[in-house]
């Protein structure tokens, strides 16, 4: 059966601010899922708390809105309980790299077949514009009125250093590119991370908005980047916050076995051992 974007769009209307980058993200998600071709009941969206974490409610797939920062542990549990589900995780930079930051390295090292999509707007939008983990140094926010004195987290370098097998970055200003990137992340057999520079139109920096993104973004494919080169990917990732690279930074050309596939293999082996023992006993 062929699906359309409408098959994945729920009747719940998004309540994001007009012009929010998350509108583009959810649209790209619909399109990517159409290309994947799996029905909504075989897909599960897990999220934390924040503007971006509203996404499960805007889809017809299974959805779970967890507590702040805990989307990854819940998603891992769901994937282990039902490995046949396509599990997507959605959150913001605050949700993923502040209170939830400790879960990221463990999700990466376990390498379950999950796709983690972070909508990185460099601010806490839902709670009215406080400093977030990716807010640039010097930025004035409602919780840093004289300018931030902290260096921002670098999500791309963070996940590459922990060994993520698929790392990409996109922008809603490039819908076709973002759709392809999300689709490729979903198809990757293992933990995949997609950082999306999704502008906050209410509290965000005017220099982060979509019109500016279109002029600033540099497509890695056009730059001739080899996505199999992890060290080069890390070099490019160090320019986070200064250069806006979009595309796949790194894709492991030899993906290791996923945690969920190993669970299934162990279960089959154990069942085979039980069956063989029963046959001997008989």
pLDDT at 182: 98
pLDDT at 109: 96
Please, what is the Cα angle at 90 between 236 and 175, to 5 degrees?
60
Tokens of 246: 């979009």
Mean pLDDT of all residues in 263-268? 88
> For position 275, what pLDDT does the model report?
84
Share of the chain above pLDDT 90, in %: 76
Tell me phi and psi for residue 149, to 5 degrees: -105, 10
The more confident residue out of 281 and 185 is 185
Tell whether the model's pLDDT for residue 282 goes beyond 90.
no
The pLDDT of 145-152, averaged and rounded, is 91
Confidence at 183, pLDDT banded by 50, 70, 90: very high
Residue 123: per-residue pLDDT: 83
What local confidence, expressed as pLDDT, does residue 11 receive? 95
* Structure-token pair, residue 122: 């460099």
Rounded to an integer, the average pLDDT of 158-182 is: 97
> For the ranges 77-81, 148-152, 188-192, 204-208, which has the lowest average pLDDT?
204-208
Residues 6+ apart with CB under 8 A from 182: 28, 29, 32, 115, 117, 170, 194
Q: For 220-259, write each residue's pLDDT tens digit.
A: 999 999 999 999 999 999 999 999 999 999 999 999 999 9
Confidence of residue 273 (pLDDT cuts 50, 70, 90): confident
Q: Any idea where the domains of the chain sit in the sequence?
A: 5-255
| Banded pLDDT at 141 (limits 50, 70, 90) | confident
* Neighbouring C-beta atoms of residue 122, cutoff 10 Å: 26
pLDDT at residue number 158: 96
Task: Evaluate if residue 180 carries a pLDDT over 90.
Answer: yes
In the prediction, which pLDDT does 129 show?
Answer: 79
d(CA 153, CA 106): 18
pLDDT digits over 104-116, tens only?
999 999 999 999 9
Please state, in angstroms and as integers, the Cα–Cα distance from residue 72 to each residue in 17, 94, 162, 186, 279, following that order: 26, 14, 15, 16, 42
Does position 133 have pLDDT exceeding 80, yes or no?
Answer: yes
Q: How many helices (H) and strands (E) does the chain have?
A: 10, 8
Sequence-ordered alpha helix ranges (H) in 82-174: 93-94, 104-110, 155-161
**pLDDT value for 14:** 92
- Which tens digits make up the pLDDT trace of 43-102? 999 999 988 899 999 999 999 999 999 999 999 999 999 999 999 999 999 999 999 999
Instruction: Report the CATH superfamily, name and number, of domain 5-255.
Output: Thiamin diphosphate (ThDP)-binding fold, Pyr/PP domains (3.40.50.970)
């Amino acid at each position: 059966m062929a699906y359309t974007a409408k098959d994945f769009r729920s009747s719940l209307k998004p309540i994001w601010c007009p012009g929010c980058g998350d509108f583009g993200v959810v649209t790209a998600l619909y399109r990517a899922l159409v290309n994947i071709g799996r029905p909504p009941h075989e897909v599960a969206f897990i999220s934390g708390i924040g503007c971006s974490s509203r996404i499960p409610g805007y889809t017809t797939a299974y959805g779970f809105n967890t507590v702040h920062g805990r989307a990854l542990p819940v998603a891992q549990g769901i994937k282990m309980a039902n490995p046949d589900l396509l599990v997507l995780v959605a959150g913001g930079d605050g949700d993923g790299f502040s209170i939830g930051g400790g879960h990221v390295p463990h999700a990466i090292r376990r390498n379950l077949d999950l796709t983690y999509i972070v909508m990185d707007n460099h601010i806490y939008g839902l709670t009215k514009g406080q400093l977030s983990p990716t807010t640039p140094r010097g930025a004035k926010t409602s919780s840093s009125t004289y300018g931030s004195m902290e260096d921002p987290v670098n999500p791309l370098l963070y996940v590459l250093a922990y060994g993520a097998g698929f790392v990409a970055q996109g922008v809603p200003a490039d819908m076709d590119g973002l759709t392809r990137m999300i689709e490729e992340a979903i198809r990757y057999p293992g933990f995949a991370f997609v950082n999306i520079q999704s502008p906050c139109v209410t509290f965000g920096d005017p220099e982060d908005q979509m019109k500016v993104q279109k002029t600033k973004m540099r497509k890695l494919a056009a730059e001739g980047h080899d996505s199999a080169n992890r060290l080069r990917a890390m070099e490019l990732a160090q320019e986070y916050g200064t250069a806006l690279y979009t595309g796949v930074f790194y894709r492991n050309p030899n993906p290791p076995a996923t945690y969920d596939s190993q669970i299934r293999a162990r279960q089959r082996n154990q069942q085979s051992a039980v069956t063989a023992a029963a046959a001997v006993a008989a």
